[in-house]
Chain A
Amino acid sequence: MILPRSSRPETVLALLVSGIVAVLVLPPLLAVVFAGMGAGFAPLRQPQVILNTLFFGLATTACALLIGGALALALLPGVPGRGILERLVVMPLYLTPLLTAMGWNWLASPHSGLLNLVLHAVFGPWATINAVSLGGVVLVSALALAPLPYLLISDALRAFDPALLEAGRVHGAAPNLVFRRIVLPLLLPAGLASAVLLCVQSIGLFSVPAVLGIPAGFHVATTEIFQLLENYPPQIPEATAWGVLLLGTSALLTLAQAALLRRRSFVTITGKAFRPGARIARARLARAVLAWIYVALATVLPLIALFWAASSTFVTANPKLMRFTLRHFSFVLFTYPKTWLAAGNSVVLGALTAIVVCLLGLAVSWVVLRGRGSGRGALDQLSMVPLTMPAMVFALGLLWVYVRVPLPIYGTVAILLIAYATHYLPFGVRTTSAALRQLHPELEEAARVSGASWLRTMRRITLPLIQPTVLAAWILLFVMAMQEVSSSILLYTSHSIVLSVAVFDLWENGNQSDVAALGFVQLAASFLVVTVVLGVRQRRGLA
Chain B
Amino acid sequence: MIGRILLACVLALALAPGLAHAADPAVIDAARHEGALAVADSAPGENFQKFMAAFKAKYPFLDVATGFYSGPTGRVLARVNAEIDAKRLSFDVMLAANTAAWIDMTRQGRIQLYASPEYAAYPEHAKMDGYWAAAQAIAVIPVYNKNVLPPGDAPKSWRDLLQPHFAGKRMAIQNAAAGTQFNWSYLLRQALGPEFEQKFAAQQPVVMATGAQMTDAITRGEVMLGAALDHWRAFTPEAAQAGLVAVFPTEGVPLTIVPVGILAGAPHPNAAKLFIDFILSQEGQHLLDTELYGMYSMRPDVAPAAGQKPLSEVHALLPTDQADYLRASQDFPRHFEELFH
Residues of A within 8 A of B (CB): 46, 48, 109-112, 132, 210-211, 214-215, 217, 219, 223, 226-235, 313-318, 321, 335-338, 396, 399-400, 403-404, 410-411, 489-490, 492-495, 505-512
CA distance A217 to B178 in the complex (A): 17
11 cross-chain CB contacts under 8 A: A215-B208, A232-B74, A234-B81, A313-B238, A315-B220, A316-B243, A318-B221, A411-B90, A490-B79, A494-B68, A507-B212
Do A511 and B212 contact each other (CB < 8 Å), given the known contacts A219-B341, A227-B177, A318-B147? Answer: yes
Q: Apart from A211-B209, A229-B78, A490-B79, what 7 extra A-B contacts exist at CB < 8 Å?
A: A214-B208, A215-B217, A223-B209, A232-B329, A234-B78, A314-B242, A317-B221
- A48 neighbours in B (Cβ, 8 Å): 341
Are B206 and A215 interface neighbours, CB within 8 A?
Answer: yes
Q: Taking the complex as formed, is B77 at the interface, i.e. its CB lies under 8 A from any CB of chain A?
A: yes
Do A233 and B81 contact each other (CB < 8 Å), given the known contacts A317-B148, A321-B243, A404-B88? Answer: yes
Are A510 and B101 interface neighbours, CB within 8 A?
Answer: no
Do A232 and B104 contact each other (CB < 8 Å), given the known contacts A111-B222, A227-B177? Answer: yes
Are B333 and A210 interface neighbours, CB within 8 A?
Answer: no
Are B219 and A316 interface neighbours, CB within 8 A?
Answer: yes
Are A314 and B219 interface neighbours, CB within 8 A?
Answer: yes
Are A111 and B220 interface neighbours, CB within 8 A?
Answer: yes
Are A400 and B45 interface neighbours, CB within 8 A?
Answer: no
Q: Shortest beta-carbon distance, B97 to chain A, in Å?
A: 10
CA distance A177 to B176 in the complex (A): 56
- A505 neighbours in B (Cβ, 8 Å): 44, 70-72
Do A336 and B238 contact each other (CB < 8 Å), given the known contacts A316-B220, A400-B82, A509-B210? Answer: no
Q: Return the chain A residue nearest B101 by Cβ.
A: A232
User: Which of A227, A410, A411 lies at the interface centre, i.e. has the most chain B CB atoms within 10 A of its CB?
Assistant: A227
Q: Shortest beta-carbon distance, B337 to chain A, in Å?
A: 8
Q: Taking the complex as formed, is B31 at the interface, i.e. its CB lies under 8 A from any CB of chain A?
A: no
- B83 neighbours in A (Cβ, 8 Å): 403
Are A315 and B175 interface neighbours, CB within 8 A?
Answer: no
Are B77 and A234 interface neighbours, CB within 8 A?
Answer: yes
CA distance A203 to B280 in the complex (A): 45
Q: Report which of A233, A336, A492, A509 forms a contact with B72, defined as CB distance below 8 A.
A: A509
Are A489 and B71 interface neighbours, CB within 8 A?
Answer: yes
Q: Shortest beta-carbon distance, B102 to chain A, in Å?
A: 9
Q: Taking the complex as formed, is B151 at the interface, i.e. its CB lies under 8 A from any CB of chain A?
A: no
Q: Report which of B68, B75, B241 forms a contact with A313, defined as CB distance below 8 A.
A: B241
CA distance A210 to B210 in the complex (A): 9
- Counting from the closest, the 7 A-B pairs by CB-CB distance are A230-B74, A509-B44, A230-B177, A112-B220, A232-B101, A403-B86, A317-B221
How many A-B pairs have beta carbons closer than 8 Å: the answer is 166
CA distance A148 to B184 in the complex (A): 43
Are A316 and B88 interface neighbours, CB within 8 A?
Answer: no
- B49 neighbours in A (Cβ, 8 Å): 337
Do A508 and B210 contact each other (CB < 8 Å), given the known contacts A214-B175, A235-B333? Answer: yes
Q: Taking the complex as formed, is B46 at the interface, i.e. its CB lies under 8 A from any CB of chain A?
A: yes
Are A510 and B45 interface neighbours, CB within 8 A?
Answer: yes
- A228 neighbours in B (Cβ, 8 Å): 333
Do A232 and B100 contact each other (CB < 8 Å), given the known contacts A495-B66, A509-B210? Answer: yes
Are A211 and B177 interface neighbours, CB within 8 A?
Answer: no
- A318 neighbours in B (Cβ, 8 Å): 147, 221
Q: Shortest beta-carbon distance, B99 to chain A, in Å?
A: 10
- A492 neighbours in B (Cβ, 8 Å): 69
CA distance A241 to B120 in the complex (A): 46
Interface size of B as a range: 35 or more
Are A400 and B86 interface neighbours, CB within 8 A?
Answer: yes
- A232 neighbours in B (Cβ, 8 Å): 73-74, 77, 98, 100-101, 104, 179, 329
Do A314 and B71 contact each other (CB < 8 Å), given the known contacts A227-B333, A399-B82? Answer: no
Are A511 and B238 interface neighbours, CB within 8 A?
Answer: yes
- B149 neighbours in A (Cβ, 8 Å): none
CA distance A317 to B220 in the complex (A): 5
CA distance A507 to B208 in the complex (A): 12
Q: Return the chain A residue nearest B42 by Cβ.
A: A509
Are B104 and A493 interface neighbours, CB within 8 A?
Answer: no
- B238 neighbours in A (Cβ, 8 Å): 313-314, 511
Q: Taking the complex as formed, is B322 at the interface, i.e. its CB lies under 8 A from any CB of chain A?
A: no
Q: Report which of B68, B75, B220 forms a contact with A489, defined as CB distance below 8 A.
A: B75
Q: Taking the complex as formed, is B198 at the interface, i.e. its CB lies under 8 A from any CB of chain A?
A: no
Are B243 and A233 interface neighbours, CB within 8 A?
Answer: no
CA distance A362 to B332 in the complex (A): 48
Q: Taking the complex as formed, is B320 at the interface, i.e. its CB lies under 8 A from any CB of chain A?
A: no
CA distance A404 to B86 in the complex (A): 6
Q: Return the chain A residue nearest B74 by Cβ.
A: A230
Are B148 and A490 interface neighbours, CB within 8 A?
Answer: no
> B180-218: contact bitstring with A at CB < 8 Å (1 yes, 0 no)?
000000000000000000000000001111111101110
Q: Taking the complex as formed, is B65 at the interface, i.e. its CB lies under 8 A from any CB of chain A?
A: yes
- A509 neighbours in B (Cβ, 8 Å): 44-45, 72, 210-212
- A217 neighbours in B (Cβ, 8 Å): 206-207, 341
Q: Taking the complex as formed, is B67 at the interface, i.e. its CB lies under 8 A from any CB of chain A?
A: yes
CA distance A410 to B79 in the complex (A): 12
- A404 neighbours in B (Cβ, 8 Å): 86, 88
Are B207 and A214 interface neighbours, CB within 8 A?
Answer: yes
Q: Return the chain A residue nearest B206 by Cβ.
A: A215
- B88 neighbours in A (Cβ, 8 Å): 403-404, 410
Q: Shortest beta-carbon distance, A199 to chain B, in Å?
A: 24
- A508 neighbours in B (Cβ, 8 Å): 72, 209-210, 212
Q: Report which of B66, B77, B86, B341 forms a contact with A493, defined as CB distance below 8 A.
A: B66
Q: Return the chain A residue nearest B178 by Cβ.
A: A230
Q: Report which of A227, A235, A495 forms a contact with B175, defined as CB distance below 8 A.
A: A227
User: Which of A132, A214, A338 lies at the interface centre, i.e. has the most chain B CB atoms within 10 A of its CB?
Assistant: A214
CA distance A110 to B217 in the complex (A): 11
Are A109 and B208 interface neighbours, CB within 8 A?
Answer: no
Q: Return the chain B residue nearest A400 by Cβ.
A: B82
Q: Shortest beta-carbon distance, A316 to chain B, in Å?
A: 5
Q: Return the chain B residue nearest A230 by Cβ.
A: B74
CA distance A314 to B212 in the complex (A): 13
Q: Return the chain B residue nearest A492 by Cβ.
A: B69
- B215 neighbours in A (Cβ, 8 Å): 512
CA distance A316 to B81 in the complex (A): 40
Are B221 and A230 interface neighbours, CB within 8 A?
Answer: no
Are B101 and A233 interface neighbours, CB within 8 A?
Answer: yes
CA distance A230 to B71 in the complex (A): 11
Are A210 and B221 interface neighbours, CB within 8 A?
Answer: no
